[in-house]
Amino acid sequence: MSDSKNLQPVRGTHDLLPEAARVQRHVVHTLQTVTKNYGYQEIATPMFEFTEVFARTLGETSDVVSKEMYSFSDRGGESLTLRPEGTAGVARSVISNKLYDFLPLKYWYTGAMFRYERPQKGRQRQFHQVGVEFLGVSTPLADAETIALGWHFLQQLQLEGNLRLEINSLGDEASRTVYRTALVAYLERYKTSLSADSQERLLRNPLRILDSKDAGDQEIITGAPSLKDSMSDEATAYFAAVQEYLSLINIPVVVNSRLVRGLDYYSHTAFEIISDGLGAQATVLAGGRYDGLIEMMGGKPTAGIGWAAGIERLALLLPPLEALPRPVAVIAMADAQEQYAFTVVQNLRGQGIMAELITSGNVAKKFKKANKINALYAVLLGEEEAATGRLTVKNLDSGEQQKIAIEEIKKGLSL
């Protein structure tokens, strides 16, 4: 590995070899199937946008914007950014295409996201998400439905380990502003006792201090004013209704009043689904309501709620996939049948049968190769078969052999 530096994938990126690619495909396919029953359609937005699209919506002071974005100038001098998440792009697309005239909209998406972070298990610099956005409806029912969709999706994947749905309300914007002021006023008194991280957060995103893992911080937070007390009656009722809808369909919910999301565009309902099967990166699906987002970006006021899930994290929790279907191995017994064998494989493929031509080597060798590709059947072609068109088919598990006309093979073997 003398020139290892250039042959290594960039830090935090990974090749998707066939097995992993199949797992990711399975996750996406599962979402596609589940969302269909909820009336969702796929949307795909560009992998990069003008930097401003993310900077404005996620919040200039958010960690994602302030230190994790892959931003660069293109040759025309424009500042562009590789998308760190999916919602901002969809929101931009809704405005660009004036889709707010066609509400409500239900979109799902998948794709690579980019964040300059320190890689860890379940955390990469290029990672993949699936997500959904439900635009144009601001009712507790819409929140419950969206959360149910996420829950349903994860059930469908049959993840190993336990999942926990945590939910909170950040209140409407007015409530949040009131609360932020009250919280900061309280925390200022303990400023010097707070952890260094939280002292920093006090300036940038004080609500996140509620979520601190530092024991000292937690102690201080115990006495802090509660967001509930600052919430308007409407916001409180809204949150109660969301919970009621969820209980109606038996989705277990844990209210976590310290759950705060890191992106600025959220209001009202916020939620996370957390797995006990991962390490520090335990959140497997998360999202919330973002009613102010589209207006903030310059569009008509449009309600919205959505979530995203990390495909790599889901992959870590996925049970083994079904075994791949087994092919038919076509074997010429002698060189004289090689060309005939090629026509036979093509014939089988034309019938919709997965078939592989085993070339080179003596017959014993070819059988070994057939085993290696996990073939269920071997089709043997010698002088007799070539003359009669009736092929010798051997079941490689049982060893049984039979003769079948080529056009009967599909039925004869129930392939």
Partner RNA sequence: GCGGGCGUAGCUCAGUUGGUUAGAGCGCGAGAUUGUGGUUCUUGAGGUCGGGGGUUCGAGACCCCUCGCUCGCCCCA
Residue whose CB is less far from RNA, 102 or 161? 161
Shortest CB 232 distance to RNA, Å: 25
| Residue 176 or 394 with smaller CB distance to RNA | 394
106 or 208: CB nearest RNA: 208
Alpha helices in 108-256, H assignment, sequence order: 140-157, 173-188, 196-204, 215-222, 227-230, 233-248
Place of tokens 């290029």: 126
Q: How distant is the alpha carbon of residue 360 from its chain centre?
A: 43
What does the DSSP assignment read for 344-398? HHHHHHHTT--EEEE-SS-HHHHHHHHHHTT-SEEEEE-HHHHHH-EEEEEETTT
- The three-state secondary structure class of 303 is coil
Q: In what order do the strands lie in the sheet with 328-332?
A: 355-358, 328-332, 377-381, 390-395, 401-405
> Cα separation of 415 and 393, whole Å?
13
Helix 140-157 × helix 233-248 angle, to 10°: 40
Q: Give whole-number Cα distances, 66 to 35, 85, 308, in Å.
A: 33, 14, 21
Residue closer to RNA (CB basis): 21 or 103:
21
Q: How far is the CB of 329 from RNA (least distance, A)?
A: 9
Tell me how far apart the 2 most distant CA atoms of the chain are, in Å: 95
CB of 272 to RNA, least distance (A): 7
C-beta of 77: minimal distance to RNA in Å? 25
User: What do you get for the CA distance between the two ends of the chain, in Å?
Assistant: 46
Residue 18 beta carbon to RNA: minimum distance, rounded to whole angstroms: 14
Phi, psi dihedral angles at 67 (to 5 degrees): -145, 5
- Least distance in Å: CB of 275 to RNA? 9
Q: HSE (CB half, 13 Å, CA atoms) of 77?
A: 0
- DSSP code of residue 226: P
Q: Which is nearer to RNA, 200 or 234 (CB)?
A: 200
| Minimal distance, residue 128 CB to RNA, in Å | 8
Please state the closest distance from residue 294 (CB atom) to RNA, in A: 18
Smallest gap, in angstroms, from Cβ of residue 364 to RNA? 4
Tokens at residue 213, please? Answer: 């893992």
> For residues 143 and 272, which CB has a smaller minimum distance to RNA in the complex?
272
Helices within 249-331 (DSSP H only): 293-296, 311-317
**Which residues make beta-bridge pairs with 42?**
108
User: Closer to RNA at the Cβ: 109 or 127?
Assistant: 127
Closest alpha carbon to 330 in 277, 265, 376, 268 = 376
State which residue, 349 or 403, has the beta carbon closest to RNA: 403
Q: Which is nearer to RNA, 75 or 118 (CB)?
A: 118
